[in-house]
Structure 1
Amino acid sequence: MSAEDDPRVRLVAALARDAVDFLSGPEREQLRACHAPRCVRYFIKSHGRQEWCRPSCGNRARVARHYERTRGAATGEGPPRREP
C-alpha cells in the first residue's frame, strides 16, 4: 500500500489543506482564543459578544470572576459590596 492509498495520510492531507484554506481566507479574522480560565481552545466567533468556545467555558469564567470579586471584597482588596 502506498502512502497515497493510506486513509490516514489522506485524512491528514485533507485537514492540512482545509487549515491552509481557512487561515488564508477572510474567515481567519473570526478566529479567537477562548477567554475561560485554563481553556486552550480556539473558536470561530459567530456573534459580537462571544468570548468562549462553549457555554461551560463561559460559566467557568463567570464563576471565577464572581469568586475573585467576593474574595477580594472579603479581604478589602476588591470593589465594595453592595448592601441589599
Structure 2
Amino acid sequence: MQSRVAVITTVRDDDFFLNKWVEYYGGFFGKEALYVINHGNQAAVREIAAGCNLFPIPDKDTSNFNIRRWRTQNGLLSALRQW
C-alpha cells in the first residue's frame, strides 16, 4: 500500500539526530515515506537513510542557505503533493 504521508528533512553533519529521526518517523510511516535532502551528499547520511528517498545537494555555495533550503523543501513538497 502506498503511503499518503511524506516526511522531509535536510541534514548535514548530524548523524546522531538523523538516526533518531529515521527510527522515529520510519517506525510510524515506513522508510519509503521519508525524504532526506543530503547536504553535501555525505556517505554517513546515505548509510543511515538507506531505504529512504535521498536527494543529494552540493555543499559548494552556502550563501543564502536557509532561503535555498526552504525553497528546496517546499519545491519537493509541492511536487509530492501532485502525486
Normalised to the residue count of structure 2, the TM-score between the two structures is 0.27
Structure having the larger proportion of residues in strand: 2
Structure number with larger C-alpha Rg:
1
